[in-house]
């Protein structure tokens, strides 16, 4: 067993203490576990005020040498990626470590043949097929920076992300399958590319086989380029602080930010957290149901598991198609040992009833995990009883795109569990709670805002092209602290429970969306004068989207206007941002200085209208009664 795998509560306490007493010694011992072309000169340099963090400065390496080349020695014939397609009738695919290595080398050469060099940005807009993972790794192998855009985003979202980081190549596919839907990815990409001047080439993977238009000179078929590609490709030697990838995520203001992760620290952190949280054992079948379009897929489908030499299962489909048994079929079919999913999926499946789960033999399961949003007690219990048969620890993992890896979570079977709690920080992680004024809340049994007062290797380094925005977003709210945006309780035992966002970010089915971003999309409808979006508690999605919209008086039929507004949001951002509820209102509750009082709108959306608090500072307090009277019941 790997000596860095924590084996007992006592071990955890020891590791935690040593990570606090000597963080540099702690992380450098872990980092030595990897292949480096040159060891670092300095383990850590940091300054939260300017926000400048460097881990393993001067170190030289390539992450794919650690994910692939290194694994050829002992596990070349072991399955690296087990792929399960959307439709259970189709056959899956397997790629051993050797096969994956060859595919990555070949595709690295394809990228090189298109003129891609170190530091270039490559946008990836692909379905959940093995070629998506191959794309990430091929970029990393030649030092190109990948920027994956979730394939459910619209052409506008894709265009904005490509332009923000000036990508030179787009990797996409003819289409994708998701449940009973077929999505025409290439047409969406074509629409985006009309306004993407930096894209010189695209590579199109054939998935659906549907006819697509290929622009001569720009668009190339994946399979054709691969046919001619050489299977030998030396890796590019990267600096530990060279960018590995950009991943866009929503915040409370403005457009999504390109969160930047670098090579050395991210590698060490994604591996260490994977190994310890899931207590991964050699040869286990590991399945994370996320999409690689999100950080969970980057860290815990691709990098973490491959660095650990695990078999990672990639699933193209959705939990409820063709039946709500799909997940459990897959668990049984591949004898999955570790299963990591989102609370929203658990709640959705719970709603279909337990008979669907009971049919399947799932005794291979050893560890269950959740991520992305708070898990309610009922869903936790259901997961524990019906999926885990009360013998699998559930790791409720709290983290963010910006943290690169899991920060607060039980270690499966090692540290205690408490339903609804992410429990304890991982070694090296130093959470602090502050009140609204930034005053440190010491001791236990306190409620506040979750921050961190010391860097960890997976922390973001910047937001692409705008360091000041990064500093402002994460390091200016409270001096010398990383601000997460989450509310949090530390209970009497010192366990952490995350309560949700304290800013204007909402979490819909585990997807992070900025309310301002949705409002901007709604406001694009020509009949919309102004809008305000808030989240409300939703039984399946965690949070639903409630939009209050002021319309032009000549807008005509309400119902058709509402569906048009939904269509606009769908077009501008994508289906995940479509409001669940739209209430047409004559005005919004604004203060005299013109600020919308969202607190009131949140309460109305949440049916908590008995105590709306002080409304006397509003410009027109009567508007509150009007909105209340027209509120839409859920």
Residues near ligand PRX (CB under 6 A)? 249, 295-296, 371-374, 396-401, 422, 484-486, 498, 500-501, 507, 512
Nearer to ligand PRX, 82 or 249 (CB): 249
Nearer to ligand PRX, 319 or 410 (CB): 410
Smallest distance from the beta carbon of 45 to ligand PRX, in angstroms? 25
Smallest distance from the beta carbon of 626 to ligand PRX, in angstroms? 32
Smallest distance from the beta carbon of 509 to ligand PRX, in angstroms? 11
Q: Which of 384, 407, 526 is nearest to 459 (CA)?
A: 407
Q: What's the burial of 182, exposed, middle or buried (CB within 10 Å: 0-12/13-18/19+)?
A: middle
Smallest distance from the beta carbon of 618 to ligand PRX, in angstroms? 29
Contact 208, 33 (CB under 8 A): no
Smallest distance from the beta carbon of 585 to ligand PRX, in angstroms? 28
Smallest distance from the beta carbon of 260 to ligand PRX, in angstroms? 14
Nearer to ligand PRX, 463 or 507 (CB): 507
Residue linked to tokens 């402002």: 472
Q: What's the burial of 535, exposed, middle or buried (CB within 10 Å: 0-12/13-18/19+)?
A: buried
Nearer to ligand PRX, 415 or 531 (CB): 415
Smallest distance from the beta carbon of 339 to ligand PRX, in angstroms? 15
Nearer to ligand PRX, 448 or 589 (CB): 448
Smallest distance from the beta carbon of 359 to ligand PRX, in angstroms? 29
Contact 569, 602 (CB under 8 A): no
Smallest distance from the beta carbon of 412 to ligand PRX, in angstroms? 14
Nearer to ligand PRX, 413 or 500 (CB): 500
**In the complex, residue closest to ligand PRX by CB:** 401
Smallest distance from the beta carbon of 249 to ligand PRX, in angstroms? 5
Nearer to ligand PRX, 40 or 482 (CB): 482
- Ranges of beta strands (E only) in 410-504 are 431-434, 446-452, 462-463, 482-490, 496-501
- How many residues appear in the chain? 634
- Ranges of beta strands (E only) in 48-180 are 52-57, 60-61, 79-84, 93-96, 121-124, 145-148, 169-173, 176-178
- In the three-class reduction of DSSP (H, G, I as helix; E, B as strand; rest coil), residue 191 is classed as helix
- In the three-class reduction of DSSP (H, G, I as helix; E, B as strand; rest coil), residue 176 is classed as strand
Report residue 444 as tokens.
């236990």
What residues pair up with 181 in beta bridges, in sequence order?
178
Contact 556, 591 (CB under 8 A): no
CA gap 428, 53 in Å, rounded: 15
- Ranges of beta strands (E only) in 505-632 are 505-508, 511-514, 528-538, 542-551, 581-584
Nearer to ligand PRX, 265 or 369 (CB): 369
Nearer to ligand PRX, 43 or 422 (CB): 422
Q: Where are the alpha helices (DSSP H) in 114-229?
A: 130-142, 155-164, 185-193, 222-227
Residue linked to tokens 């002992």: 74
Nearer to ligand PRX, 112 or 497 (CB): 497
């Amino acid at each position: 067993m790997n000596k860095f795998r924590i084996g007992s509560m006592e071990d955890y306490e020891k590791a935690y203490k040593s990570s606090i007493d000597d963080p540099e010694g702690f992380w450098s011992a872990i980092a030595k576990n990897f292949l480096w072309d040159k060891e670092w000169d300095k383990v850590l340099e940091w300054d939260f005020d300017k926000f400048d963090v460097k881990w393993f400065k001067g170190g030289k390496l390539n992450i794919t040498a650690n994910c692939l080349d290194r694994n050829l020695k002992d596990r070349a014939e072991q399955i690296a990626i087990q792929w399960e397609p959307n439709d259970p009738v189709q056959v899956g695919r397997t790629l051993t470590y050797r096969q994956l290595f060859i595919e990555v080398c070949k595709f690295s050469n394809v990228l090189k043949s298109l003129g891609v060099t170190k530091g270039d940005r490559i946008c990836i807009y692909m379905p959940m097929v093995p070629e998506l993972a191959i794309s990430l790794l091929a970029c990393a192998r030649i030092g190109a920076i990948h920027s994956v855009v979730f394939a459910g985003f619209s052409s506008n979202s894709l265009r904005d992300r490509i332009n923000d980081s000036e990508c030179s190549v787009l990797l996409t596919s003819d289409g994708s399958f998701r449940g009973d839907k077929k999505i025409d990815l290439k047409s969406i990409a074509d629409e985006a590319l009309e306004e993407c001047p930096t894209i010189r080439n695209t590579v199109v993977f054939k998935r659906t086989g549907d006819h697509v238009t290929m622009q001569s000179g720009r668009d190339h078929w994946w399979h054709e380029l691969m046919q001619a590609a050489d299977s030998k490709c030396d890796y590019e030697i990267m600096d530990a602080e060279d960018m590995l990838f950009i991943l866009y995520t929503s915040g409370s203001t403005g457009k999504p930010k390109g969160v930047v992760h670098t090579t050395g620290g991210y590698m060490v952190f994604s591996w260490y957290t994977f190994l310890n949280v899931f207590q991964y054992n050699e040869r286990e079948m590991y399945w994370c149901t996320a999409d690689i379009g999100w950080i969970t897929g980057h860290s815990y489908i691709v990098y973490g598991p491959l660095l650990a030499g695990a078999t990672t299962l990639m699933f193209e489909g959705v939990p409820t198609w063709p039946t709500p048994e799909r997940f459990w079929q897959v668990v049984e079919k591949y004898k999955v040992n570790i299963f990591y999913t989102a609370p929203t999926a658990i709640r959705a499946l719970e709603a279909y009833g337990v008979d669907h789960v009971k049919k399947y033999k799932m005794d291979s399961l050893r560890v269950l995990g959740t991520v992305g949003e708070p898990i309610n007690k009922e869903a936790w219990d259901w997961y524990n009883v019906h999926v885990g048969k009360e013998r699998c620890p559930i790791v409720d993992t709290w983290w963010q795109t910006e943290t690169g890896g899991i920060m607060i979570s039980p270690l499966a079977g090692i540290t205690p569990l408490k339903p609804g709690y992410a429990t304890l920080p991982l070694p090296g992680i130093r959470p602090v709670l502050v009140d609204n004024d930034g005053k440190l809340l010491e001791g236990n049994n306190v409620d506040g805002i979750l921050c961190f007062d010391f860097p960890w290797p997976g922390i973001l380094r910047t937001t692409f092209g705008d360091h000041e925005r990064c500093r402002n977003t994460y390091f200016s709210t409270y001096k010398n602290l990383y601000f997460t945006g989450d509310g949090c309780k530390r209970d009497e035992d010192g366990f952490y429970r995350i309560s949700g966002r304290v800013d204007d970010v909402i979490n819909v089915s585990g997807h992070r969306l900025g309310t301002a971003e949705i409002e901007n999309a709604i406001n694009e409808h020509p009949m919309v004068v102004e809008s305000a979006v808030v989240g409300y508690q939703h039984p399946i999605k965690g949070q639903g989207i409630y939009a209050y919209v002021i319309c032009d008086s000549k807008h005509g039929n309400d119902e058709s206007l509402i569906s048009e507004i939904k269509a606009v949001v769908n077009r501008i951002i994508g289906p995940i941002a479509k409001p669940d509820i739209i209430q047409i209102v004559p005005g919004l509750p604004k203060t005299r200085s013109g600020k919308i009082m969202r607190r009131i709108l949140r309460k109305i959306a949440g049916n908590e209208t008995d105590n709306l608090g002080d409304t006397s500072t509003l410009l027109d307090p009567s508007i509150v009664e009007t909105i209340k009277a027209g509120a839409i019941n859920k």
